[in-house]
Amino acid sequence: MLLNDVRRLASYLVFIKNYIMKLNEKKVAILATNGFEQSELFEPLKALKNEGATVDIVSLEKGEIKGWTDVNWGKSIAVDKTLGEVSVSDYNALMLPGGVINPDILRTNTKAIDLVKSFVENKKPVAAICHAPWLLASADVLKDREITSYNSIKDDMINAGAVWKDQSVVCDQGLVTSRNPNDLPDFNSKFIEEICEGQH
């Protein structure tokens, strides 16, 4: 009798856990390559997984990509899928970590830009932090959109047609942007909220 009670309780706890997790059955792609700002990948990754999301690290090649922290190379993370293996229909949302090196490499890659553009055109949530809005500018999706970014690329954003704001997080119809790692709590919270809402 006691064993059955324990099994019932375990089953109930799994049900409750699944019920309170906001992103169960949601899939999110994090597009990155070498030189991503370490905290801007790992902290959103943790926040998304804590809410039950399935998250794929998408990059240019298989293997691992290495982060950047302060003035040195940081932790590495395994790549789950290459750009050639994914499409917008595979995911509910896209996240773009910053760092200077990472988005500067990705914005010269046609497949990366096409993927970013397809998420925006399909009105699926996209989150970009720090220098990652460079990818949005290269994808030509910023016309009249309210965003923020790292301060040093503010002019790039305005020249791409964006309405730039100096706020910890700016959201415009599913497009979530933040300025730097200090904004990560607001960034993560808003991105999760937008994924819950779905297509905009």
Please provide residue 73's backbone torsions phi and psi, each rounded to the nearest 5 degrees: -65, 145
Give Cα separations from 27 to 41, 68, 124 (angstroms): 16, 25, 12
Q: What is the pLDDT of residues 5-38, one digit of tens each?
A: 667 766 655 555 545 678 888 999 999 999 999 9
What does the alpha-carbon distance between residue 113 and residue 10 come to, in Å, rounded to a whole number? 45
Instruction: Say which of 130, 171, 196, 200 is annotated catalytic.
Output: 130
Q: What is the pLDDT of residues 48-66, one digit of tens each?
A: 999 999 999 999 999 999 9
Q: Is the pTM of this model over 0.85?
A: yes
Instruction: Say which of 131, 171, 196, 200 is annotated catalytic.
Output: 131
Q: Decide if 131 is catalytic.
A: yes
